[in-house]
């Protein structure tokens, strides 16, 4: 909400710079997002930083309030006139001007009642009114169609008040005006842009802000008068109220103004409304807006004669729920279907307005309106919220009612509104007001022991001090044995009647008024809860560290996906290997391709790889993240998965001798297997094995399942070429693994024994075996290890060879073997015996031949 400081000063005499006030409001929870200066200089407050404003500062000597005494014709130009201006100087100043709104005064002689303008003397800095871009200029004397001119009467644009440049500023006469007064004192202003959190409904008006200002600064609040001069016939005979839903409409008040004149509002009203971003219309509608912003109590004005016509006599205003299929044409010209819960203002002939939201077109104020019926009511905020959601409509009224306006404000709005209308438009106000108040909210009194304040805020304050803070916010307080009994003021709906919640509400108010900076900073002295071990977190972070150490980068993807993309993981004619679960489906997705939560990390990982392929020769990445499997429970299972993806070159190209041209090898299946085994090794998981994968997203011949203690943990291998192609990854093979993190946690050894360091010498030798091409390597190694027995410490495969001289259908596997006796020096004889056993077993069990 835009809040002119000049308006707030109507209610409280602020004694500090506006910049400091803005800081104090911000710290008290009324966040001032921006200060807009009009004419006044920006103050430098020590210790306070703020953006520099580049506005025009009005020269107090050269920009003055001046009376426009007379407007004369220009002798040489039809589109110019001569304004004779009293700026407090010895003589009247003659200003040549083309301001359209001065032409009507031409030839009248001395203007009466007087009007006032904003006068700029030669040498004054103003904005260039004719420039499209903001540009400042210094006023210089020059001839305009034969008449020398060195000063001017200014438009709003020239002073930086608004973009208005059609006419000049014309102020209606006020007693306090003196010719030659610095303009800054009349129109200078600072507009605070304040953002309100939902709990600050009570602040959503000038008086609401002023109350906070008064409380924070410890100043007196000065309320406007709520008296109204009522000399007409009693209102009871002229209108009646029938509230049918007191829950939704706890209060409804009406006042009536007869024989008034609908016309433009005076300058001060139009100016204030424009400063807060409202468009002035006519005096009646302007008053309803003005009171909405001044008090926070929205008003609605009806053309009383139209109501008389509809009812064929004194109308009865009915508030009720709509009938089936009922419609209403609202002020914005839309014919609206009314929802079941929309509360209406109606008469016996039908609906007139949507309560608390918007009026109807038929009974609105027009230029011909003579008699005005003014509504000030209270509406249930939840009901209004439902209506504005359903009708997709936001008005200044609904913005306030949807946050909550206390019913006590209705009568204040009625009284002040009808009196202001009478002052601006004339006429006679009917005696009294009609006030239907079937559902007053309960008055809340909270008992707050002083020790509770100090125990919860951690500060040491006196009972009187706390009570005084509440009194500044207009609470009524009574102190009884160090207990403050505080009764909430009648503009607040946010203090709870629940004794403990109410205490918290008051604590916040006390802390705000005294200042959060008054609360000390202490170290928690409370009992420390027992510390638990957190293996899930531990393993997750451990896995991240291991994989980053292995040269992989961590990615984090969206957890959203869509069914079509996940279906792309299954090649034509194959059965899906994705989890057998339902999707968590979003009913209001951000995009249609993000309408479910993922069942696998694979789609996101492949998409990420495709996106990166343009810039990266090699990609080695992993993600640890949840997938979402909806089964029979209300909430889905959210297992944590580890996805690993490798593609592209194994190494970056270098100029190293033998590596010229960067002809680096491509990453392959065994690189991925190496990552997995290094991970398992680092987690001290040693009971693992592999079997051929059955996951359809992988190449059937180049993929495997990882088993830990014979239980599957996930599949890995080369992504099926058709799947890779669908994800724009056909250029190089993609290797991918997806593992259950919970399984890694389950099987990791947190306490593992280390191998003793042997000091006895080892004997190394190589052995090459020729076996059938389809014999699995791990089978050969198993036979070697079993036959080698206790002395065979290590077996490393260092060559796999097919082709001449190895016969077709066969392959040669070359191993380097390490023999070592932990207790004594191994003799050549013992090593030879082990070797003989190995060769024998290989012959017998693998039909292997020794390659010479």
Q: Which stretch binds another protein (CB under 8 A): 4-12, 380-388, 724-732, 752-760?
A: 380-388
640-669 residues in contact with another protein (CB under 8 A) are 651-652, 654-656
Q: Which stretch binds another protein (CB under 8 A): 47-55, 73-81, 101-109, 324-332?
A: 47-55
Beta-bridge mates of residue 815 = 767, 797
Q: Among 636, 700, 712, 721, which residue interacts with another protein (rule: CB under 8 A)?
A: 636
* CA–CA distance, 84 with 76 (Å, rounded to integer): 17
Q: Among 14, 28, 334, 479, which residue interacts with another protein (rule: CB under 8 A)?
A: 28
Closer residue to another protein (CB): 534 or 786: 534
Query: Which is it for strands 316-320 and 240-243: parallel, antiparallel or unpaired?
Result: parallel
Closer residue to another protein (CB): 598 or 835: 598
Closer residue to another protein (CB): 112 or 522: 522
Q: Among 324, 335, 634, 757, which residue interacts with another protein (rule: CB under 8 A)?
A: 634
Closer residue to another protein (CB): 125 or 386: 386
Contact pattern from residue 339 through residue 378 relative to another protein, giving x for each residue in contact according to CB under 8 A and a dash for the rest: ----------------------------------------
534 binds another protein (CB under 8 A): yes
Structure tokens at 786: 């079993």
Task: Using alpha carbons, list the distances in angstroms from residue 223 to 5, 62, 210, 220, 442.
Answer: 16, 35, 10, 10, 24
212-251 residues in contact with another protein (CB under 8 A) are none
- 587: burial class by Cβ within 10 Å (0-12, 13-18, 19+)? exposed
Q: Among 112, 225, 368, 531, which residue interacts with another protein (rule: CB under 8 A)?
A: 531
Taking a C-beta distance cutoff of 8 angstroms, is the pair 547, 646 a contact?
A: no
DSSP 273: H
Closer residue to another protein (CB): 348 or 612: 612
198-217 residues in contact with another protein (CB under 8 A) are 198-201
569-608 residues in contact with another protein (CB under 8 A) are 584-590, 594, 597, 608
Short-list 172, 163, 167, 184, CA closest to 65: 184
Taking a C-beta distance cutoff of 8 angstroms, is the pair 180, 63 a contact?
A: no
667-696 residues in contact with another protein (CB under 8 A) are none
Taking a C-beta distance cutoff of 8 angstroms, is the pair 723, 699 a contact?
A: no
Query: Which is it for strands 618-626 and 553-554: parallel, antiparallel or unpaired?
Result: parallel
Short-list 423, 428, 433, 430, CA closest to 259: 428
* CA–CA distance, 22 with 48 (Å, rounded to integer): 11
* CA–CA distance, 641 with 544 (Å, rounded to integer): 12
Number of shown-chain residues binding another protein (CB under 8 A): 98
Q: What ranges make up the beta strands (E) of 226-371?
A: 240-243, 251-258, 300-303, 316-320, 327-329, 335-337, 344-347, 350-354, 358-359
* CA–CA distance, 71 with 105 (Å, rounded to integer): 6
Closer residue to another protein (CB): 297 or 620: 620
815-834 residues in contact with another protein (CB under 8 A) are none
Minimum distance from residue 644 beta carbon to another protein (Å): 11
Closer residue to another protein (CB): 662 or 803: 662
Q: Which stretch binds another protein (CB under 8 A): 11-19, 527-535, 695-703, 745-753?
A: 527-535
Taking a C-beta distance cutoff of 8 angstroms, is the pair 631, 581 a contact?
A: yes
Q: Among 524, 575, 751, 757, which residue interacts with another protein (rule: CB under 8 A)?
A: 524
Minimum distance from residue 748 beta carbon to another protein (Å): 18
Minimum distance from residue 597 beta carbon to another protein (Å): 7
Minimum distance from residue 460 beta carbon to another protein (Å): 10
456-515 residues in contact with another protein (CB under 8 A) are 456-459, 498, 500-501, 503-505, 507-508, 511-512
Short-list 187, 197, 116, 198, CA closest to 158: 187
* CA–CA distance, 209 with 26 (Å, rounded to integer): 12
314-343 residues in contact with another protein (CB under 8 A) are none
Closer residue to another protein (CB): 43 or 178: 43
Minimum distance from residue 29 beta carbon to another protein (Å): 3
Taking a C-beta distance cutoff of 8 angstroms, is the pair 645, 621 a contact?
A: yes
Closer residue to another protein (CB): 101 or 654: 654
Minimum distance from residue 617 beta carbon to another protein (Å): 11
Under DSSP, is residue 629 helix (H, G, I), strand (E, B) or coil?
strand
Structure tokens at 471: 């009194």
Q: What ranges make up the beta strands (E) of 55-114?
A: 63-74, 77-86, 93-97
Closer residue to another protein (CB): 479 or 550: 550
725 binds another protein (CB under 8 A): no
Minimum distance from residue 149 beta carbon to another protein (Å): 41
Under DSSP, is residue 236 helix (H, G, I), strand (E, B) or coil?
helix
User: Containing H/E element for 711?
Assistant: strand 711-719
Structure tokens at 48: 């306070």
Other CB atoms closer than 10 Å to residue 852's CB: what's the count?
A: 5
Phi, psi for 577 (deg, rounded to 5): -105, 10
Q: ∠ CA(616), CA(617), CA(623), 5° rounding?
A: 60
* Residue given tokens 């939902």 in the structure block: 198
Task: Using alpha carbons, list the distances in angstroms from residue 826 to 758, 794, 833.
Answer: 12, 15, 11
* CA–CA distance, 434 with 318 (Å, rounded to integer): 13
Contact pattern from residue 403 through residue 442 relative to another protein, giving x for each residue in contact according to CB under 8 A and a dash for the rest: x---------------------------------------
Q: Among 2, 14, 26, 179, which residue interacts with another protein (rule: CB under 8 A)?
A: 26
Q: Among 525, 575, 751, 757, which residue interacts with another protein (rule: CB under 8 A)?
A: 525
Closer residue to another protein (CB): 154 or 741: 741
529 binds another protein (CB under 8 A): yes
Question: Is the bond preceding residue 805 a cis peptide, omega within 30 degrees?
Answer: yes
757 binds another protein (CB under 8 A): no
45 binds another protein (CB under 8 A): no
Q: Among 94, 162, 612, 722, which residue interacts with another protein (rule: CB under 8 A)?
A: 612
Closer residue to another protein (CB): 503 or 603: 503
Minimum distance from residue 714 beta carbon to another protein (Å): 20
782 binds another protein (CB under 8 A): no
Other CB atoms closer than 10 Å to residue 806's CB: what's the count?
A: 17
Closer residue to another protein (CB): 195 or 323: 195
Taking a C-beta distance cutoff of 8 angstroms, is the pair 35, 192 a contact?
A: yes
Closer residue to another protein (CB): 87 or 560: 560
Closer residue to another protein (CB): 15 or 533: 533
537-566 residues in contact with another protein (CB under 8 A) are 537, 541, 544-545, 547-560
455 binds another protein (CB under 8 A): yes
- 682: burial class by Cβ within 10 Å (0-12, 13-18, 19+)? middle
Q: Among 151, 249, 381, 410, which residue interacts with another protein (rule: CB under 8 A)?
A: 381
Closer residue to another protein (CB): 635 or 751: 635
107-126 residues in contact with another protein (CB under 8 A) are none
Helix (H), strand (E), coil (C) string for 124-169? CEEECCCCCCCCEEECCCEEECCEEECCEECCHHHHCCCCCCCCCC
Closer residue to another protein (CB): 108 or 611: 611
Closer residue to another protein (CB): 226 or 516: 516
Minimum distance from residue 278 beta carbon to another protein (Å): 23
């Amino acid at each position: 909400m835009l809040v002119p400081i000049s308006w707030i000063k109507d209610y409280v005499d602020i004694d500090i710079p506006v910049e400091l006030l803005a800081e104090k409001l911000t710290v008290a929870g009324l966040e001032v997002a921006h200060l807009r200066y009009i004419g006044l200089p920006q103050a430098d407050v020590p210790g306070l930083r703020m953006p520099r404003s580049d506005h025009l500062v009005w020269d107090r000597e050269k920009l003055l309030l001046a009376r426009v005494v007379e407007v004369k014709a220009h002798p040489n130009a039809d589109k110019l006139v001569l304004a004779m201006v009293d700026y407090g100087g010895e003589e009247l100043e003659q200003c040549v001007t083309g301001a359209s709104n001065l032409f009507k005064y031409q030839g009248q002689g001395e203007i009466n009642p007087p009007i006032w303008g904003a006068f700029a003397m030669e040498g004054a800095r103003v904005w260039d009114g004719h420039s499209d871009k903001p540009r400042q200029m210094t006023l210089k004397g020059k001839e305009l169609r034969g008449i020398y001119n060195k000063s001017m009467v200014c438009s709003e644009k020239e002073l930086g008040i608004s973009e208005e440049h059609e006419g000049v500023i014309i102020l209606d006469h006020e007693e306090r005006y003196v010719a030659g007064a610095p303009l800054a004192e009349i129109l200078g202003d600072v507009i605070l842009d304040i953002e309100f959190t939902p709990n600050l409904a009570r602040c959503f008006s000038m008086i609401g802000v002023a109350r906070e200002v008064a409380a924070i600064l410890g100043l007196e609040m000065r309320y406007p008068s709520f008296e109204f001069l009522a000399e007409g016939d009693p209102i009871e005979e002229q209108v009646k109220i029938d509230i049918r839903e007191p829950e939704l409409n706890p209060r409804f008040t009406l006042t009536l103004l007869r024989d008034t004149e609908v016309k433009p509002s005076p300058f001060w009203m139009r100016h204030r409304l424009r400063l807060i971003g409202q468009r002035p219309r006519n005096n009646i509608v302007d008053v309803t807006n003005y009171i909405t912003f001044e008090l926070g109590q929205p008003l609605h004005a009806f053309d009383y004669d139209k109501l008389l016509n509809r009812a064929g006599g004194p109308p009865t205003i009915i508030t009720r729920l709509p009938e089936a299929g009922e419609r209403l044409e609202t002020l914005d010209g839309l014919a609206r279907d009314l929802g079941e819960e929309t509360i209406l203002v109606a008469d016996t002939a039908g609906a007139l307005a949507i309560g608390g939201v918007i009026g109807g077109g038929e009974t609105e104020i027009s230029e011909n309106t003579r008699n005005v019926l003014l509504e000030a009511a209270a509406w249930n905020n939840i009901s209004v919220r439902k209506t504005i959601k359903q009708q997709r409509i936001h008005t200044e009224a609904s913005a306030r009612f949807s946050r909550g306006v206390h019913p006590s404000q209705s009568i204040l709005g009625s009284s002040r509104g009808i009196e202001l209308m009478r002052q601006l438009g004339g006429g006679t106000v009917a005696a009294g007001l009609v006030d239907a108040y079937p559902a007053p909210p309960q008055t809340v009194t909270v008992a707050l022991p002083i020790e509770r304040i100090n125990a919860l805020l951690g500060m040491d304050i006196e009972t009187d001090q706390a009570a005084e803070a509440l009194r500044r916010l207009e609470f009524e307080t009574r102190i009884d044995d160090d207990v403050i009994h505080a009764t909430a003021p009648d503009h607040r709906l946010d203090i709870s009647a629940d004794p403990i919640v109410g205490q918290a509400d008051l604590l916040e108010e006390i802390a705000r008024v005294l200042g959060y900076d008054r609360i000390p900073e202490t170290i928690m002295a409370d009992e420390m809860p027992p510390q638990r071990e957190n293996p899930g977190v531990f393993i997750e972070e451990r896995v991240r560290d291991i994989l980053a150490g292995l040269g992989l980068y961590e990615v984090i993807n969206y957890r959203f996906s869509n069914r079509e993309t996940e279906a792309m993981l299954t090649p034509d004619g194959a059965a899906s290997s994705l989890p057998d679960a339902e999707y968590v489906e979003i009913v209001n997705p951000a995009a249609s391709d993000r309408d479910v939560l993922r069942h696998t990390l694979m789609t996101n990982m492949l998409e990420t790889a495709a996106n990166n392929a343009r810039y990266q020769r090699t990609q080695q990445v992993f993600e640890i993240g949840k997938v979402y499997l909806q089964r029979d429970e209300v909430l889905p299972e959210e297992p944590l998965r580890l996805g690993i993806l490798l593609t592209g070159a194994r190494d970056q190209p270098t100029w190293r001798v033998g590596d010229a041209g960067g002809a680096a090898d491509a990453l392959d299946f065994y690189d991925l297997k190496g990552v997995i085994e290094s991970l398992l090794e680092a987690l001290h998981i040693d009971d693992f094995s592999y079997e051929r994968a059955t996951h359809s997203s992988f190449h059937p011949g180049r993929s495997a399942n990882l088993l830990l203690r014979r239980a599957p943990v996930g599949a890995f291998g080369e992504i099926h070429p058709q799947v890779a192609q669908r994800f724009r990854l056909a250029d190089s093979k993609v290797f991918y693994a997806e593992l259950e993190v919970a399984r890694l946690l389950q099987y990791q050894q947190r306490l593992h024994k280390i191998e003793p360091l042997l000091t006895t010498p080892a004997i190394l030798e190589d052995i090459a075996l020729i076996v059938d091409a389809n014999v699995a390597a791990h089978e050969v190694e198993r036979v070697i290890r079993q036959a080698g027995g206790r002395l065979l410490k290590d077996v490393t495969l260092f060559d796999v060879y097919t082709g001449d001289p190895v016969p077709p259908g066969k392959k040669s596997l070359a191993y380097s073997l390490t023999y070592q006796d932990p207790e004594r020096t191994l003799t050549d004889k013992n090593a030879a015996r082990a070797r003989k056993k190995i060769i024998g077993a290989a012959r017998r069990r693998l039909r292997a031949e020794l390659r010479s």
